Amino acid sequence: MKAVVIREFGNPEGLEVVDVPAPVPGPGQVRITTEAIGVGGVDAVIRRATLAAYGFRKGHLLGSEVAGSVTAVGEGVDPSWTGRRVWAFTGLSGGYAEQAVAAVADVLPLPDGLTGVDAVTLGSSGVVAHFALDRARFTPGETVLVRGAAGSIGVTAVQLAARGGAGAVAVTTASEERGARLRELGATHVLDRSGEGGPDTPSGFDVVIDVVAGPALSSFLDRLNPNGRYLAVGVVAGQPPADFGMRLMNAFRRSLSFATFSADTVPGPAAQAVRSSQFADAAHGDLRTVVHDVLPLDQAVLAHREMDAGTVFGRIVLTP
């Protein structure tokens, strides 16, 4: 089967289309013939080797979420899965391929009315957005800032915060056009990447959901209201400065909280319950999936170039 692997870490051109044997589902796994493959910011983080601690080697087959039809089941899996259209999380590898395997616990049937493309646009990122707001103890009326809102996590976080009755939903984006589109999803204030906005920008935020991190993280910590909660969910711009904790301690009397959040810490059944509910909402038009582009699998380099160019709004999807 055709698959895309990392030949060299770094630039998108280090990705290579190869022929590899189709995976065989092991015990507790299913095999899926893919019809849609999500291209996530995490794939770019792995390709760039931003987080060296991931420890992947050359030849790594990228991709973590797919949609398609189950074509084989491993030992111990109910054979009635065969033929069903599903969304699946494949871990941090194995998705950019014509066939993928996943643990059956990480597989969810697609509801009627939801395309595979929509499913891989929402399946992982929607859960991150939901639990980030949940862990931040967001309540109606509070002001929220989503930093890096134009990505797949951000576009859902904005919708969920707006739907949850936020007093204000501010976003950062480098693009006026993406800012306008974020307003359509529920953003009330559009800030540039440095956090500058119009004169009506709230003076502080109760909750910051940060997909970006990087050198500017500390300056956004300063934007928290007293008792504010800062949730770091991504590292699109790399690691924050080493002394950001000092900044937090210096603001001791404002009772600020900083937390990292990874969906890896959400129990599987809880994540699946939220995903299932979001899929139903998307199928009914109550939650918008934002597809930036759909490209053939062998154009993965182009997809990653678009991500590196910073022009993506929502999710890029590959189709085999």
Ligand X SMILES: NC(=O)c1ccc[n+]([C@@H]2O[C@H](COP(=O)([O-])OP(=O)(O)OC[C@H]3O[C@@H](n4cnc5c(N)ncnc54)[C@H](OP(=O)(O)O)[C@@H]3O)[C@@H](O)[C@H]2O)c1
Residue 217: count other Cβ atoms within 10 Å of its Cβ. Answer: 23
Stretch that binds ligand X, among 30-38, 69-77, 257-265, 275-283 (CB under 6 A): 257-265
Percent helix, strand, coil in the chain (nearest 5)? 35, 30, 40
DSSP characters over 142-181: -EEEEETTTBHHHHHHHHHHHHTT-SEEEEE-S-HHHHHH
Q: Does 160 bind ligand X (CB under 6 A)?
A: no
Q: Does 183 bind ligand X (CB under 6 A)?
A: no
Binding flags for ligand X, 131-150, as an x/- string (CB under 6 A): -----------------x-x
Binding flags for ligand X, 272-311, as an x/- string (CB under 6 A): --------------------------------------x-
Q: Does 158 bind ligand X (CB under 6 A)?
A: no
DSSP characters over 235-295: -TT-PPPTTHHHHHHHTGGG--EEEE--GGGS-HHHHHHHHHHHHHHHHTTSS---EEEEE
- The distance of closest approach from Cβ of residue 149 to ligand X in the complex, given in angstroms and rounded to an integer, is 7
DSSP secondary structure code for residue 303 in this structure: H
Using CA atoms, how far apart are residues 229 and 206, in angstroms rounded to an integer? 6
DSSP SS3 for 185: helix
Pairing state between β 143-147 and 168-172? parallel
Burial class (CB in 10 A: 0-12, 13-18, 19+), 28: middle
Binder among 25, 234, 240, 320 for ligand X (CB under 6 A): 234
Q: Does 123 bind ligand X (CB under 6 A)?
A: no
How far from chain centre, in Å, is Cα 216?
Answer: 21
Q: Does 173 bind ligand X (CB under 6 A)?
A: yes
Bridge partners, 32 (sequence order): 70, 100
Binder among 5, 67, 97, 153 for ligand X (CB under 6 A): 153
Task: Map the footprint of ligand X across residues 191-220, applying CB under 6 A.
Answer: 193, 211-212, 214
- The distance of closest approach from Cβ of residue 72 to ligand X in the complex, given in angstroms and rounded to an integer, is 28
Q: CB–CB of 148/154 below 8 Å?
A: yes
Q: Does 178 bind ligand X (CB under 6 A)?
A: yes
Identity of the residue, 168 or 266, whose beta carbon is nearer to ligand X in the bound complex = 266
- The distance of closest approach from Cβ of residue 82 to ligand X in the complex, given in angstroms and rounded to an integer, is 29
Q: Does 271 bind ligand X (CB under 6 A)?
A: no
Binder among 81, 87, 96, 261 for ligand X (CB under 6 A): 261
Q: Does 115 bind ligand X (CB under 6 A)?
A: no
Q: Does 3 bind ligand X (CB under 6 A)?
A: no
- The distance of closest approach from Cβ of residue 314 to ligand X in the complex, given in angstroms and rounded to an integer, is 8
- The distance of closest approach from Cβ of residue 194 to ligand X in the complex, given in angstroms and rounded to an integer, is 9
Using CA atoms, how far apart are residues 4 and 17, in angstroms rounded to an integer? 5
Binder among 30, 158, 237, 290 for ligand X (CB under 6 A): 237
Residues that bind ligand X (CB under 6 A): 40-42, 45, 124-125, 128, 148, 150-154, 173-175, 178, 193, 211-212, 214, 233-237, 261-263, 310, 312
